[in-house]
Structure 1
Amino acid sequence: MMRAIKLSAVVAIAALATGCASTSDLEALDARVGTLEGKVATASADAASAKAAAAEAAAKAAAAEAAANRAAQYAQDTNSKLDRMFKKSQHK
């Protein structure tokens, strides 16, 4: 029984010695949280901007690919036409 009382006294003294978070600690923590929230908002906006730029770049790349495919098809058509004209001129 005496041992339990001594142990309780030691725990109580230790709890009082360490104390709880003070108001200034909570205010400092709140300020840090506010700063972090601002940084998260900035990072989120930057990510959204990067996503929009990537989508725009992808659209431009798709348009360029389509234009290149059309140009290749026109070149192939022209080469076929020139080959036919050459063969026709050689037959005569």
Structure 2
Amino acid sequence: MMKAVKLSALVAVAALATGCASQSDFDKLKADVDSLKPQVSAAAADAASAKAAAAEASAKASAAESAANRAAQYAQDTNSKLDRMFKRSQHK
């Protein structure tokens, strides 16, 4: 029982100490939020643009990797053919 009374007194003191927000506080906060909305929209647009650019770069990197793998395979095939030709020329 005493704990409840002490807790209630503590809550009452805290509520009185903090006070209530006035309408002007709410209006200022609303104005601040409204001023941030265009910045948030711009940031979202920049993020979308960056995401699109990253996807395009990833696609180009994949294409370049594929081309490099094909070139490496062609080089390996060519080296194999040259080795066979050299071995044949040594047999004669």
- TM-score (ref. length: structure 1): 0.73
Partners of 2:63 and 2:36 in 1: CA distance: 41
Match of 1:55 in 2: 62
Within a 5 Å distance, the mapping from 1:1-92 to structure 2 comes to: 8-12=15-19, 15-16=21-22, 19-20=25-26, 21-85=28-92
How far did residue 6 of structure 1 move? 7.2
In 2, the alpha carbon distance for the partners of 1:55 and 1:7 equals: 61
Match of 1:61, SS state, is helix
Q: CA deviation at 1:32?
A: 1.3
Aligned positions, number? 82
Q: TM-score, normalised by structure 2?
A: 0.73
> Residue by residue, what CA displacement relative to the aligned partner does 1:20-43 show, whole Å, maximum 9, x if unpaired?
343321211211110110110011
Secondary structure of the residue aligned to 2:62 is: helix
CA distance in 1, matches of 2:32, 2:48: 24
Segments of 5+ residues of structure 2 without an aligned counterpart are 1-8
